[in-house]
Amino acid sequence: MTSLLPLLTSGPHGSRSHLTCQFKCGFACDQPVPNTSANEEIGTLVVNALARRSLIKGSAMGAGALVLGGLVSPNVAAAATRSINPLNLGSAGFVPVAPNVRDNVSVPTGYTYDVVAKWGDPIIKGAPAFDVHNQTPEAAAQQFGYNCDYVGLVYRADDRAVMMVDHEYTDENLMFPTGAYDADTIKRIAIQNHGLSIIEVERQSNKGRWRMRDISAAKLNRRITGTSRFELVGPAAGDPRLRTSADPLGRRVLGTLNNCAGGTTPWGTFLSGEENFNQYFDKNGTIDAAYTTSFNRYGLTGSGSRGWSAVDPRFDLVAEPHEAFRFGWVIEIDPLDPESTPRKHTMLGRMKHEGANITIASSGHAVAYMGDDERGDYIYKFVSADLFDPRETQSARRRNMELLTKGTLYVAKFTGDGSEDGVYDGSGIWIPLTTDTESFVPGYSVADVLINTRLAADLVGPTKMDRPEDIEGNPINGKIYCALTNNSNRGNSAMPVNEPNPISSSMTRPQLGAALVTQSGNRNGYILEMTEDGDDHTGTTFTWDLFLVCGDPAAPETYFAGYPKELVSPISCPDNVAFDAAGNLWISTDGAVLGGNDGLYRVPVEGPERGKVECFLTVPFAAECCGPLISQDQKSVFAAMQHPGETTGATFENQTSTWPHTDAFPRPGVIVAYKS
Ligand code: FEO
Ligand code: CA
Ligand code: CA
Ligand code: CA
């Protein structure tokens, strides 16, 4: 194993630096937990006596002592383990990458990687070349944005595709030479570095290798930024709370912010979640008391440190309080029509949307699974009223693009099945919140539920989760997988453990390459596996288990679906999930606390290797791994390198990463890894 440096930081929020906490989510974990409802915590469901003894007292537990998971039906196992096109990534396809702190992308022997696009790359025909010393908002609006997250592909031919990449947030300390720009110019440039990029990509002679198409020919290339025009659609569009002085009809919004994970729909569009939108709003004065209940539930305290109201008063919660209601949605964009106006879907509710992923139920309904990424917030699903039309015609596509405007929004309640079986598992129900015409929450209209989704959900008794991040249906076995990334408060008196959130506070456990440390809360996260009852995704009952309890395999509480712990890669803080064509789960991590860089991991979910977590790549120093995407032919692994070098105290002149080593400063970007 590569020798490891001591941990550089060890705050209460994973291994994240102070800067990441500030810029990425506005110190979300330093704020009071916004969910003050009395709803049960996933950690308060009953922890079985065996697990309780082992977890809370830290007593040793042998590998496999937790008998999690269930029997695998032979046909499912066969489907999941079939070899579609050995990715070159078949089960013997790579030797896992060992934990390391290199300032580079590390891939297995026999593989290599290319940068597909990086911060500042011109993507619009005529865009100026990137010059870090001469940045302007106008140039940024034509160049690849900062801190990429979700990566999606819509194929146009076997060797051509259009890619969407989210740009979640900016880190002004690393982007701008100290003193070179005035404060307001920095804000305007930062706004243009948010949003997303759409780029055409083409395959190379090595079939695993992709690159950006020449921008002079790439007519679909597009930048969406913090000021691009959006349309609000669905039942809440036009609601008085969505009206502002600039938009008296409440239907047109400028920009999308903090776009985190996303999804690619079966009808060839992209979805993206507006996550920590609250941090972009500040206040000049006192917030009208009429808004404080809602604002507090969304962390809209006006304490945002970006100061954007200085360049655009709509970011002032006092001057324009309704503007904040116009963020926190799932957006949909049609990558095949560069003139189309992207939309914000009010039917999918308003929260700190991590993302949204669509599964087509056997009945034909489109089902969107969604996580609200906050400590103690909930998992949701939406079921469309209308049916997906699988025909590849323009009219079918247009109809499909309306599927997310009408249907039913649900929130999840988990129940542990008790302490006898030694398994973190149980059952659950989807509690309906509203349809597009009828609310099920007493005292709440349809628009009330959709605009103040968190407050509405609080009233119906869902389960508080440990930061539900990406959640997605496995196309092979039909189960749903959700990354519960961590929760520094789990186990505190206000947020006790339970069966679905079983890891308690103040546990002493080993760190890779470091001494024993005492950590609070659920530090390494879980992968939750949900199985919808019946052969469909439209029902209201499910069963669940914890597929992975992440961490150092040497730590007694970790669990890898029963797979021998000595044979898995350490994994911490799962964030994004994806599947390859064989149904294997791929997990990217954010904030790993085990002492090595974040990475991308593959794990089979069925068959004899169920739970065998293997690290496929690690990211540059202090980066997080986002947007994993495995190509249909399994020859290419795309991933986003977010915030390389974002360490406490780093500045433009004092960088801790220079990846991808084209400049003296880091340039977050998307890579493709392939067999060389
Ligand atoms: Fe942007 Fe929840 O990660
Ligand atoms: Ca149990
Ligand atoms: Ca994420
Ligand atoms: Ca995250």
For the segment 615-656, what is each residue's pLDDT rounded down to a tens digit? 999 999 999 999 999 999 999 999 999 999 999 999 999 999
As a whole number of angstroms, the distance between CA 48 and CA 424 comes to 8
As a whole number of angstroms, the distance between CA 31 and CA 33 comes to 6
Ligand closest in space to the Cα of 418: 2
Write the pLDDT tens digit of every residue in 342-353. Answer: 999 999 999 999
pLDDT(330) > 60: yes
Tell me how far the alpha carbon of residue 64 lies from the centroid of ligand 4, in angstroms: 28
pLDDT of residue 47: 36
260 lines ligand 1 (CB under 6 A): yes
Q: Confirm if 427 and 415 have CB atoms less than 8 A apart.
A: yes
Which tokens hold the place of 202?
């083409």
- Stretch 282-287: mean pLDDT: 97
Ligand closest in space to the Cα of 627: 3
Closest CA to 29 of 558, 459, 591, 546: 591
Closest-CA residue, ligand 1 atom 1, reads 260
545 lines ligand 1 (CB under 6 A): no
Which tokens hold the place of 239?
């609601």
Closest CA to 416 of 426, 406, 404: 426
Ligand closest in space to the Cα of 468: 1
470 lines ligand 1 (CB under 6 A): no
Cβ atoms within 10 Å of 177's Cβ, excluding its own: 13
Tell me how far the alpha carbon of residue 48 lies from the centroid of ligand 2, in angstroms: 7
Tell me how far the alpha carbon of residue 149 lies from the centroid of ligand 3, in angstroms: 7
**HSE of 336, CA atoms in CB hemisphere, 13 A:** 16
- Stretch 143-151: mean pLDDT: 98
pLDDT of residue 501: 72
Ligand 1 atom with least separation from CA of 485 = 2
Ligand 1 atom with least separation from CA of 25 = 1
41 lines ligand 1 (CB under 6 A): no
Closest CA to 409 of 443, 442, 440: 440
Tell me how far the alpha carbon of residue 117 lies from the centroid of ligand 2, in angstroms: 46
Closest CA to 597 of 148, 13, 5: 5
Tell me how far the alpha carbon of residue 134 lies from the centroid of ligand 4, in angstroms: 31
Ligand 1 atom with least separation from CA of 352 = 2
Q: Which are the contacts of 7, defined by CB distance < 8 A and separation ≥ 6?
A: 15, 511, 514, 593, 595
pLDDT(74) > 80: no
- β-partners of residue 639 are 671
Closest CA to 410 of 395, 430, 428: 430
Instruction: State how far Cα 595 lies from the chain centre.
Output: 22
Ligand 1 atom with least separation from CA of 260 = 1
Q: Confirm if 407 and 361 have CB atoms less than 8 A apart.
A: no
Ligand 1 atom with least separation from CA of 373 = 2
What are the two backbone dihedrals, phi and then psi, of residue 155, each rounded to the nearest 5 degrees? -75, 140
Q: Confirm if 578 and 594 have CB atoms less than 8 A apart.
A: no
Tell me how far the alpha carbon of residue 533 lies from the centroid of ligand 1, in angstroms: 29
274 lines ligand 1 (CB under 6 A): no
Ligand closest in space to the Cα of 591: 4
pLDDT of residue 46: 29
Tell me how far the alpha carbon of residue 117 lies from the centroid of ligand 1, in angstroms: 21
Ligand 1 atom with least separation from CA of 275 = 1
Three-state DSSP at 672 gives strand
What are the two backbone dihedrals, phi and then psi, of residue 22, each rounded to the nearest 5 degrees? -70, -55
Closest CA to 172 of 139, 142, 194, 195: 194
Q: What is the mean pLDDT of the chain?
A: 87
Tell me how far the alpha carbon of residue 598 lies from the centroid of ligand 1, in angstroms: 14
Three-state DSSP at 478 gives coil
240 DSSP assignment? G
Cβ atoms within 10 Å of 673's Cβ, excluding its own: 24
pLDDT tier at 519 (50, 70, 90 boundaries)? low
Look at strands 465-466 and 468-473 and give their pairing: unpaired
As a whole number of angstroms, the distance between CA 568 and CA 565 comes to 6
439 DSSP assignment? B
As a whole number of angstroms, the distance between CA 470 and CA 263 comes to 10
469 lines ligand 1 (CB under 6 A): yes
Write the pLDDT tens digit of every residue in 448-476. Answer: 999 999 999 999 999 999 899 999 999 99
168 lines ligand 1 (CB under 6 A): yes
172 lines ligand 1 (CB under 6 A): no
- β-partners of residue 143 are 122
pLDDT(115) > 70: yes
pLDDT tier at 44 (50, 70, 90 boundaries)? low
Which amino acid, one-letter code, is at 173? N
Tell me how far the alpha carbon of residue 372 lies from the centroid of ligand 1, in angstroms: 9
578 lines ligand 1 (CB under 6 A): no
Tell me how far the alpha carbon of residue 644 lies from the centroid of ligand 1, in angstroms: 16
As a whole number of angstroms, the distance between CA 271 and CA 263 comes to 5
354 lines ligand 1 (CB under 6 A): yes
- Stretch 583-610: mean pLDDT: 94
373 lines ligand 1 (CB under 6 A): yes
Tell me how far the alpha carbon of residue 350 lies from the centroid of ligand 2, in angstroms: 32
Closest CA to 127 of 191, 200, 223: 223
Tell me how far the alpha carbon of residue 180 lies from the centroid of ligand 4, in angstroms: 31
As a whole number of angstroms, the distance between CA 666 and CA 42 comes to 38
Closest CA to 481 of 470, 496, 492: 470
- Stretch 501-507: mean pLDDT: 59
Collect residues with CB below 5 Å from ion ligand 3.
260, 469, 575
Write the pLDDT tens digit of every residue in 214-258. Answer: 999 999 999 999 999 999 999 999 999 999 999 999 999 999 999
Ligand closest in space to the Cα of 13: 4
pLDDT of residue 13: 56
Tell me how far the alpha carbon of residue 552 lies from the centroid of ligand 1, in angstroms: 22
Write the pLDDT tens digit of every residue in 609-622. Answer: 999 999 999 999 99
